[in-house]
Structure 1
């Protein structure tokens, strides 16, 4: 690999030829060649002894990705109407003034766009860190089977560890906690923990011993209290944390998002203007509802749209109502009753005022 001979040499030569056809390709080709020669050799000297070849190659690839500033291979979701939030998260990630790990809590009702925003930012910036991991849908994944929490811990450990634990079977949550703590204490990491709803999830994935300076952790949740009550916040050196609340989209951006999914463009087709406005008002800026409705009505005629709207008014058990009930269903019985009484005071009022 160092001398770039045989198949590696052929592959490198072919790739270099392709790159040289592009603008300023000569400089990039030289950089690529140096990366393969020097980066691989340095890795070999420092880390290849007594290690599996597959692990060594994987780390070389990751190092080249970081050096070339290649973003994550995770496809970026469509982000409409979240310019301020995107800029806020990007600025927070670039801020290196903290002497501890930084935690950002993205809050909001279910389906409002917390996961979409976190996934977008992760896809753009994960390559800037020594290691990273995106753990999605933690609430459902940890509940669906008895070993759900262990599976999440294994995913995190596999993502951030240099030496994989696949050969060693771990059956204990506390053992995985120690393994994760050892890694995050030594490396600058970028973690996204999506949809946290219980303390035990945070304690199992973050531990209590703290993170390497400069690490960034994004947590999406409907309940910010959980984060400040986890084990990591009970230590002497508490991490710096901020909150970012997501609200629904305004009408202009709601219309644009609905059109994107229904018509694959940013404006309605001729004749659909009136039914589109009805749906925009029905969704009240709820991102997931707009997305589901738009995809359901793609390539449908106006008559079908009208019938669909009438059906939404009658069917309390529809997919849309189930989406809108997600946050409500997580409340306790007393909180549900309190919510219904409070909601009555705001009937007919502007949502931005309430």
Structure 2
């Protein structure tokens, strides 16, 4: 008997045979062909097999090592040949298998090797003869009963039949046996956490995207095409766990599988060919040539796996170039193959035909609380006295699974005081494990994207991305490249109305990076977004050239502060300043020489301020909610702001009319939203004909008329929602660049003129809640129109036939 896995019959429990499958066979019958082939095939796929190679001598008991091997293994495979029962050793092994099977702890897969299962079941034919021989050798026949019972049990099992009448290729039979053993042992399955919460719904959504037939919690059938799905999201959101769960549910449907993880370091140290060799070895089940050239490995992937149905899980792919370098074209894989890719980027499969994207977001509050409690308490809900703390900690982690797991595990069995202190930490910054994961993503960004990320985290979360774009462009941070890169990495979302949105945990991370520039001296950091720290720097005259952006935020109703110019000494590199409701006085001509954005919302009555500013670098001016009126004295100053691109006067409720617009101005965006007393827009706005891109007068309820906008050749967006405007005229050749026209809730707007057909570039037209009765037939000329919104137009009775010709319209 081969006991290569065993040291000594009397050895300790720790040295027991470490096997998964016990292979039992009668040596002279099957050794040189079937049994050896089966043993090798099982071993080649990584299954640990114990086989009994020696005959038990007459009168001897079964070796304890054999009993241990059977008891330890999960599956036994008896190869029942014609002379199987003539071996006392085989019959004793069979009896031990059946005992284990009766205890429901063991699986038996019998192979009827050119024998009739009925002869085994009823102990007839060669099995009867063999039992009679054993009976003659023994003192009595009592020992035969358990053997007969074992043979009867085995004969009743469904197994594999090899028959001369219906000869099957041994290789095909063994392939099926190996496949079944892999499924029953789940040798292809990957390790996933025991504390899984909320994973199944995501898995089912992805199964549906991949057209997988999924019934009763199991994947039963896949399509004939090559399925491809990308699971993307921020670090720590659970992409790998979800992908592993999918892999475990699907792997039984494929000829071969490969899971590649943590290969970024491997590529760095050994090159991508090392990972390719691993992939090829997996799909060849260990028997594969090793390549020393990536191109040769790609050729092997292209030619060898075209006829195979394979499952690939590629975890944490850097970008689409790396994916292409690693596996070439995904269509090289055989029909019915499937590729699951996880990445921090959402564009990895952007150029792959038929690929599906799945964005994995943060957990919802109830599921997040359950996951946290599993790690913190080993229960699904918090115990009495910890309900509020647990809920607050979950909120502070923003529902990020990695944070929930790490923080929950850390707090297990800790005191309530420790919980309170941990909560205080989490409110200021993410857990250390989360910071490390985020830092990996942050470090892959170029310096421009990093600067924009920090700006958003500190100041611009929730803002229309088009406004800070002007400052970033002047700083040569290349926002048209950097923001899509941040979006692709799931570090920034772009929501409706082009709003920048950053998750709370990411915002904390960004602010922590800024804080780490100098932990003890805020004045040495690049950005000051904490009100108390910013106020302390100004009041203490601690300004330094390190500070590029500073923001104050006085609580509503609280007394604001008045600053003199000397308190801003040292801030020569300031490019963004948020004063909130503060007052500043004095001669600032030699200050703020690099100031690009002045955010002075809720400013005091500027016309009474004795203020002198140098606006030569100013790009964005936001005076929203301020007390400005028609006689605002700073207008002369603003005419000197030759680089000013954005003027935002939202909710300036005392503004009744805009002053003259100088033709020297470079204004591209004028935002007058919510100026409830505004009645006149000065006709000089036409002097901005080539420059003005957006005019927003939403909520200016007293505004009844627009100036002649015919010459506005650069205008792309016109928003007049909630105004009293009753008529809009579009001259031939006017506003040829206009893409967005929003006139929601304009009750006095009863007619749209035929001239709307001149707006050849229009893509978005919203007339919700307006008083229109019909639309002109000329609307058919709007070939680029994608969205036409007519909600709650109660007077609208019919639509023109021309709407049918709007080929770009999205239904």
1:187-202 counterparts in 2 under 5 A? 187-202=308-323
Q: Could you say if the C-alpha distance between residues 172 and 268 of structure 1 is closer, same or farther in structure 2, counting changes exceeding 3 Å? A: same
Partner of residue 117 from structure 1, selected from 242, 247, 269: 242
* Equivalent in the alignment of 2:381: 267
Q: Could you say if the C-alpha distance between residues 68 and 83 of structure 1 is closer, same or farther in structure 2, counting changes exceeding 3 Å? A: closer
* Equivalent in the alignment of 1:19: 101
Partner of residue 191 from structure 2, selected from 75, 79, 93: 75
Partner of residue 203 from structure 2, selected from 64, 86, 100: 86
Query: What is the CA-CA distance between 1:170 and the residue it aligns to?
Result: 2.1
Q: Quick check: 1:154 aligned with 2:277?
A: yes
Q: 1:37 & 1:70 partners in 2: Cα distance?
A: 26
SS of the aligned residue for 1:191 comes to strand
1:1-354 counterparts in 2 under 5 A? 4-5=25-26, 7=52, 9=78, 10=90, 14-22=96-104, 34-35=159-160, 44-45=170-171, 62-65=178-181, 70=186, 72-77=188-193, 78-91=195-208, 92=210, 94=212, 99-143=224-268, 145=269, 147-162=270-285, 164-165=287-288, 168-208=289-329, 210-229=332-351, 233=352, 238=353, 240-312=354-426, 318-343=432-457, 344-346=459-461, 354=501
**Partners of 2:262 and 2:315 within 8 A in 1:** yes
Q: Could you say if the C-alpha distance between residues 12 and 203 of structure 1 is closer, same or farther in structure 2, counting changes exceeding 3 Å? A: farther
Query: What is the CA-CA distance between 1:189 and the residue it aligns to?
Result: 0.8
* Equivalent in the alignment of 1:52: none
Query: What is the CA-CA distance between 1:213 and the residue it aligns to?
Result: 0.9
Q: Could you say if the C-alpha distance between residues 279 and 2 of structure 1 is closer, same or farther in structure 2, counting changes exceeding 3 Å? A: closer
Residues 89-147 of structure 1: CA deviation (Å, up to 9, x unaligned): 2333625785531100111111111101001111222122111111113334423x1x1
Q: 1:105 & 1:161 partners in 2: Cα distance?
A: 25
Larger mean CA deviation between 198-207 and 270-279 belongs to: 198-207
Q: Could you say if the C-alpha distance between residues 87 and 177 of structure 1 is closer, same or farther in structure 2, counting changes exceeding 3 Å? A: same
Q: 2:326 & 2:197 partners in 1: Cα distance?
A: 31
Q: 1:336 & 1:134 partners in 2: Cα distance?
A: 32
Give the alignment's TM-score, normalised by structure 1: 0.78
**Partners of 1:69 and 1:128 within 8 A in 2:** no
Q: 1:89 & 1:12 partners in 2: Cα distance?
A: 45
**Partners of 1:312 and 1:318 within 8 A in 2:** no
* Equivalent in the alignment of 2:730: none
- Greater relative contact order (CA < 8 Å, ≥ 6 in sequence): 1
Q: Bigger radius of gyration, 1 or 2? A: 2
**Partners of 1:192 and 1:218 within 8 A in 2:** yes
Q: 1:46 & 1:82 partners in 2: Cα distance?
A: 37
Larger mean CA deviation between 300-309 and 258-267 belongs to: 300-309
Q: 1:158 & 1:296 partners in 2: Cα distance?
A: 39
Q: Could you say if the C-alpha distance between residues 45 and 219 of structure 1 is closer, same or farther in structure 2, counting changes exceeding 3 Å? A: closer
Relative to its length, the structure with more helix (as a share) is 1
**Partners of 2:256 and 2:285 within 8 A in 1:** no
SS of the aligned residue for 2:259 comes to strand
Residues 195-234 of structure 1: CA deviation (Å, up to 9, x unaligned): 10134431233223621111111111122323234xxx4x
SS of the aligned residue for 2:316 comes to strand
Q: How many residues align?
A: 328
Give the alignment's TM-score, normalised by structure 2: 0.36
What RMSD in Å do the two structures reach over aligned CA positions?
A: 3.7
Larger mean CA deviation between 96-105 and 117-126 belongs to: 96-105
Q: 1:36 & 1:74 partners in 2: Cα distance?
A: 32
Larger mean CA deviation between 14-23 and 116-125 belongs to: 14-23
Structure 2 unaligned runs (5+)? Answer: 1-21, 28-51, 53-76, 79-89, 111-153, 214-220, 464-492, 502-811
**Partners of 1:98 and 1:214 within 8 A in 2:** yes
Q: 1:99 & 1:65 partners in 2: Cα distance?
A: 25
**Partners of 2:97 and 2:108 within 8 A in 1:** no
Relative to its length, the structure with more strand (as a share) is 2
**Partners of 2:212 and 2:223 within 8 A in 1:** no
Q: Could you say if the C-alpha distance between residues 89 and 17 of structure 1 is closer, same or farther in structure 2, counting changes exceeding 3 Å? A: farther
Q: 1:106 & 1:176 partners in 2: Cα distance?
A: 26
Larger mean CA deviation between 68-77 and 131-140 belongs to: 68-77
